[in-house]
């Protein structure tokens, strides 16, 4: 009987702790970041610990975009996003690894907020930045850029 009660109390403490951590950190996408400013030093080392409880919708959209930019549709997609197709396509074509190292907190879409997702492209020594913003059709990718 004592073991069962102790196990129930321990379980309640664990669940309570997880709920508090979720509540406190839910709006913090990056729990820890070490390195130079993510968008400024593509050759530098970046270590990011991302919140496992974050909303990943924008990340999935950015991954689909990166996949499309690695194909023959790159120039067309880049032009639709008002980005420089030469710079974007030459960087992403043949690239096999893109690691998310930074993402801004989710913005209030009613106030015209923006959100950046920054990916490290180690084999190109570059950073790929995807900008999300609210406009007439809704929340979505506004443009992209590459920093070398």
The whole-angstrom separation of Cα 53 and Cα 10 is: 22
pLDDT of 72-101, one tens digit each? 999 999 999 999 999 999 999 888 899 998
* 73 within 8 A of 92, measured Cβ to Cβ: no
When mean pLDDT is compared over 12-26, 115-129, 133-147, the highest value belongs to 115-129
Structure tokens at 57: 């919708």
CA geometry: angle at 33 spanning 107 and 26, to 5°? 40
Bridge pairing between strands 99-103 and 46-50: unpaired
Dump pLDDT digits (tens) for 14-41: 998 877 766 666 667 887 888 777 777 6
Spatial CB neighbours of 59, under 8 Å, sequence gap ≥ 6: 100, 103, 117
Whether 74 contacts 92, CB under 8 Å: yes
For the chain, how many residues are written? Answer: 148
pLDDT for 110 equals 55
Average pLDDT for the chain? 85
Q: What's this model's pTM, rounded to 2 decimal places?
A: 0.78
User: Nearest-CA neighbor of 121 among 72, 33, 62?
Assistant: 62
- Looking at the predicted structure, is the pLDDT value of residue 56 above 60? yes
Q: Please state the φ and ψ torsions of residue 38, each to the nearest 5 degrees.
A: -60, -30
pLDDT, residue 32, reads 82
């Amino acid at each position: 009987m004592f073991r069962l009660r102790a196990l129930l109390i321990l379980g309640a403490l664990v669940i309570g702790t997880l709920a508090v951590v979720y509540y406190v950190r839910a709006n913090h996408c990056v729990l820890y970041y070490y390195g130079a400013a993510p968008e400024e030093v593509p050759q530098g080392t970046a270590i990011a610990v991302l919140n496992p409880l974050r909303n990943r919708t924008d990340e999935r959209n950015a991954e689909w975009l990166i996949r499309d930019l690695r194909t023959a549709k790159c120039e067309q997609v880049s032009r639709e996003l008002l980005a420089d197709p030469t710079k974007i396509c030459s960087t992403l074509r043949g690239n096999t690894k893109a690691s998310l190292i930074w993402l801004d907190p989710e913005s209030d879409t009613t106030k015209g907020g923006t959100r950046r997702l920054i990916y490290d492209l180690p084999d190109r020594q570059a950073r790929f930045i995807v900008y999300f913003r609210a406009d007439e059709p809704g929340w979505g990718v506004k443009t992209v850029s590459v920093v070398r």
